[in-house]
Amino acid sequence: MTEFKRKKGESFESFLRRFNKGLRNSKTLNVARSKRSLMPKKSRREQKEYALKSLELRKQKTYLRKIGKLPEEETTFRR
């Protein structure tokens, strides 16, 4: 994953131009778009199974945090 940071004194337009060019060159967007159209959607049964498993794992993690077996999770923002 490539990171783009605005340089000191750089205008927003030039940063946006550099960001778009870097995104095109890294081909990240093309890969994501191709995967989106190629991956088949999950069936209702698979969706329900996944939801139940994740719910069970979440319950286990909260229980382990309460009894002190897992460290408290810090809040991070992901994009």
Q: Domain map of the chain by residue range?
A: 8-39, 42-70
What does the DSSP 8-state code read for residue 77?
A: -
Q: How far apart are CA 37 and CA 65, in angstroms?
A: 39
The pLDDT of residue 78 is 61
Q: Are 56 and 63 in contact (CB under 8 A)?
A: no
Q: How far is CA 66 from CA 43, 53, 63, in A?
A: 35, 20, 5
What the block records as the tokens of 44 is: 């209702």
pLDDT in tens, 20-79: 888 888 888 888 888 877 878 899 999 999 999 999 999 999 999 899 888 877 666 665
Q: How far apart are CA 23 and CA 49, in angstroms?
A: 36
pLDDT in tens, 5-21: 888 999 999 999 999 88
The pLDDT of residue 24 is 85
Q: pTM for this structure?
A: 0.44
Tokens 């460290």, located at residue = 71
